Amino acid sequence: MKRTFNLAAVLLSLLLTACGGMGGVSNTIDVTMTDFQFQPNQFTVPAGEEITFNSSNNGAVVHNFVIMKLGTTAGDFFDDEDVPNVYWEVELVPGGSTNTSFTAPSEPGEYQVVCRTEGHIVSGMTAKLIVVPAEE
């Protein structure tokens, strides 16, 4: 009886850990780019902290991960007037991958992520970066 209870507790804790990794706050972003999606397409990070960024481009064309500044969006097409609104970006060639890092924005809020390659926003290549206050 006791053994059964312990097993249940272990399974429950594993389950909670798995859920935390998917929907919770993380200092790591793992994203796969395809033609034309970010997978996953929502990330939650702590404000002002170092974020490890691992990404690969499984598509046949160049893709970008572009974080727009708070309160700005690229609209349907990324053009020259959107350039000053870029918070951080990285570009990946087809088949390419990257392991880099960036500092999360210090201001909590919802930031738009887009691929700036022409035509990719309207093809659905957008995502959401949710910045939450860092825990003390």
Instruction: Find where tokens 């992520």 sit.
Output: 113
Residue nearer to Cu ion on the CB measure, 113 or 120 = 120
Residue nearer to Cu ion on the CB measure, 68 or 115 = 115
CB of 38 to Cu ion, least distance (A): 9
CB of 32 to Cu ion, least distance (A): 12
Q: What angle do CA 131, 109, 106 make, to 5 degrees?
A: 60
Which spans of this chain sit near Cu ion (rule: CB under 5 A)?
63, 115, 117, 120, 125
**Cα-Cα-Cα-Cα dihedral sign, residues 117, 121, 122, 125:** positive
Residue nearer to Cu ion on the CB measure, 38 or 87 = 38
HSE toward the beta carbon, residue 131, CA cutoff 13 A: 22
Contact present, 102 and 53 (Cβ < 8 Å): yes
CB of 44 to Cu ion, least distance (A): 22
Contact present, 36 and 115 (Cβ < 8 Å): yes
CB of 127 to Cu ion, least distance (A): 11
Residue nearer to Cu ion on the CB measure, 55 or 117 = 117
